[in-house]
Amino acid sequence: MAQKPHSLLGKFLLWRAKNIPQDRFVLILSVIVGLIAGLVAVLLKNTTHFIQEIIHSGYLNQYFNVYYFLFPIVGVALTLLVKRWIRVPVGEGIPSALFAISRRSGFIKSHKMFASVITSVFTVGFGGSVGLEGPTVSTGSAIGSNLGRLMHLNYRQRILMIGCATAGAIASIFNAPIAAIIFTIEIFSLDLTLVSLVPLLLASVSGAVTSIFMEGNDSLFHYSSIDPFRIEDLPWYGLLGVFTALVSVYFNKVYFYFDDFFTKIENKFRKLLLGGVALGLSIWLIPPLYGEGYETINALLNGDVLEVVKESFLFQKYDGPYVIMILLLGLVFIKILAAVFTFGAGGVGGIFAPSLFVGSALGFVFAFIIVEFGIGDINTTNFALVGMTGLMAGVLHAPLTAIFMIAEITAGYNLFIPLMAVSTISYLVTRNLMPFSIYNMQLAKRGELITHNKDHAILTLLSLKKVIEDDFKKVSPEMNLGELVKVVSRSRRNLFPVIDANEELVGVLTLDDFRGIMFESERYDETFVSELMSPPPAIIESEENMNEVMKKFQSTGAWNLPVVENGKYIGFVSKSKLFSVYRRKLMEFG
């Protein structure tokens, strides 16, 4: 008789298995995950804004121009103290979720359910020039993953829970449920099937409803008016698409250059000093770089350019249209520097908000220059909105997300045609110059990126170490035929790795190589393995990904290939086992 579970969770799982079908249970969980992700987004946003309001109020506000320099450094320092207190690594939000999907079977460590939230509050609340979207998605994804593990969901369903958490978080932050679903599908490469779409819909709606219930049905961005799309403005939108693509490439290049630069610095205090001072100086010179920058975006959307530049040290010394242009261009090119300085110093945040900020500033200054010099008569609000789309499409490699995100959060459906045009141009140009987005560059370099190509996705999910077979009898090159025959009599295989005294692979030997002479006893003492062996058709390195392994099988036509690690033999991979494991993973994946 089967033993009944004693724990409350065990009893619940047993009751659930008997009373709730698995597909219906997944739908229920998707609603729960969406609600939790929405609550995390609201909590994180309001806590951060509460800190910012304290900093901006009362006595400190009189001297705030000086504190623009100091507070971001204080915020990053507090973030580092919290990291030290919780004693766990705090990775980047969306890239860490992508890594969990591709390399950890959808399992995310439990500490990620709170680490990013706690640390990002101090980073952004004290003025770090990054966004809250990444930490929110990271926290929600960890909750979805751990809930899936707790409920004994399979790999496919755990990934779906991570996607549901992401959709719920994005929908709650931006009040854009459609864009949240598209973002999840584009970034996480989820299959657009009814099985995955319905849970994403429920989670996205749950996240949006949570935000609306707690904060009201209010858009993130506000503007007084936009002009209807005019066909004569299409060339200007096309040119803006090219500019947003070039700035997107600049965004990515600068991000990864400084990421490598700060990674090489091992001393955390030195990182804080270098990154913090550079961040403080950037914000002191151009105060709108402080924090996420959504207030600045709203000011640009309403054409209130003086509100954006008036607190700058440079504008207080000099004024005029040229100084305004310089400051606006500073918003475009220095915002990404301020973001990477925040990360480099040790801060925690996301690059979603900086990409929106840079896009709106680029679109606005593009239109401002054209109008100021009398080149054309175009609406700065229109171009600020469309500029955000271009940067999102280029930096994130998510053109559909960019279109629907800006259309939803601004209710700007009147600009759907220019949104589509600029997004497409920016994405195509950027993709040609940089094949991978800022989120998946590191995974793509290692061949660990999940894509919409199902064959590639399944190979990415396979682990080389799990398909290595090590039950082959080793032989040495000095072994004679008589000794070799004795080894063959004890082996179940017809393939033998030839290993030297240093455990290095020097060749391979098959039964066919000596079948014709194995019973000629007169040759036992005078024929050696070194004379019979042949070099392998290819050698697999243990750190290679499965796509590279499959290419070697295809190019050589071999059925077995040896695997080495640091030059040492560790086993073989057989094509038959690889296909068998691939088929099992295909069934699990589908």
Amino acid at 192: L
C-alpha span between 462 and 130 (Å, rounded): 35
Contact 145, 161 (CB under 8 A): yes
Q: How confident is the model over 80-137, as pLDDT tens digits?
A: 888 888 776 665 667 777 776 666 666 777 777 788 888 888 888 888 888 888 888 8
pLDDT of 201 reads 92
Q: What DSSP state is assigned to residue 464?
A: G
Amino acid at 551: K
Specify the residue for token string 């940089």.
Answer: 434
CA-closest candidate to residue 430, choices 391, 402, 403, 401: 391
Tell me how far CA of residue 466 lies from CA of 447, 471, 574, 586, in angstroms. 17, 14, 12, 16
Contact 488, 140 (CB under 8 A): no
Pick the CATH number of 8-215 from 3.40.50.880, 1.10.3080.10, 1.10.287.70, 1.10.357.10: 1.10.3080.10
Q: Which helix (H) or strand (E) holds 318?
A: none
Q: Which helix (H) or strand (E) holds 401?
A: helix 399-410
> How many Cα atoms sit within 13 Å of 508 on the Cβ side?
20
Domain residue ranges of the chain, discontinuous segments joined by +: 8-215, 231-452, 457-589
Assigned token pair, 149: 């593990």
pLDDT of 455 reads 52
Assigned token pair, 11: 């009893």
Contact 93, 134 (CB under 8 A): yes
Mean pLDDT of the chain: 82
Q: Residue 35 — very low, low, confident or very high, per pLDDT cuts 50/70/90?
A: very high
Assigned token pair, 494: 């017809």
Pick the CATH number of 457-589 from 3.90.640.10, 3.40.50.1820, 3.10.580.10, 3.40.190.10: 3.10.580.10
User: What 3-state DSSP class applies to 436?
Assistant: coil
Contact 334, 398 (CB under 8 A): no
Q: Which residues of 555-582 are buried (b: 16+ CB within 10 A; e: fewer)?
A: eeebebbbbbeeeebbbbbbbeebeebb
CA-closest candidate to residue 379, choices 299, 296, 303: 303
Work out the average pLDDT over 391-397: 91
Q: How confident is the model over 546-560, as pLDDT tens digits?
A: 777 778 878 887 888
Contact 20, 190 (CB under 8 A): no
> Could you check whether 231-452 and 457-589 share the same CATH topology?
no
Tell me how far CA of residue 373 lies from CA of 369, 386, 575, in angstroms. 6, 21, 67
Q: Domain 231-452 belongs to what architecture?
A: Orthogonal Bundle (1.10)
pLDDT of 305 reads 81
pLDDT of 320 reads 67
Amino acid at 360: S
C-alpha span between 473 and 20 (Å, rounded): 51
| pTM, 2 dp | 0.77
Q: How confident is the model over 166-184, as pLDDT tens digits?
A: 899 999 988 888 989 988 8
**Helical H segments across 439-574, by residue range:** 441-445, 454-461, 481-489, 511-514, 529-532, 546-556
Is the sign of the CA dihedral 51, 53, 55, 58 positive or negative? Answer: negative
Check whether 582 has a pLDDT greater than 70: no
Tell me how far CA of residue 407 lies from CA of 175, 412, 414, 417, in angstroms. 11, 5, 8, 11
Tell me how far CA of residue 390 lies from CA of 189, 242, 396, in angstroms. 21, 9, 10
pLDDT of 1 reads 45
C-alpha span between 350 and 132 (Å, rounded): 6
